[in-house]
Amino acid sequence: MNKDIYKFSIISLICLSLLILFSSCQKTDTSESHDIFSFSDETTAAADLVGEANEDLNKIKVIYKRNESKREELKTAMKDNDVESVKKIADELVYIFNDAMALAEGAIEKIEKAEAMNTNVDFKEYLSLKAQSLRKQLEAFENYRQAARVLREGYNPKDDEQRKKVQVAFVEKDANFQKIMEVAKDLSTQANKLAKEKTKNSN
Give Cα separations from 197 to 8, 99, 103 (angstroms).
Answer: 20, 35, 29
- Residue 81: left if φ>0, alpha if ψ -120 to 50, beta else—which one? left
Candidates 173, 10, 166; CA nearest to 97 is 173
Candidates 182, 146, 151, 149; CA nearest to 164 is 151
Q: What is the rounded CA–CA span in Å between residue 85 and residue 149? A: 14
What confidence tens digit (pLDDT) does each residue in 51-110 have? 898 899 889 889 878 887 888 898 899 888 898 999 999 999 999 999 999 999 999 999
Q: Is the pTM of this model over 0.75?
A: no
Mean of pLDDT values over 127-142: 92
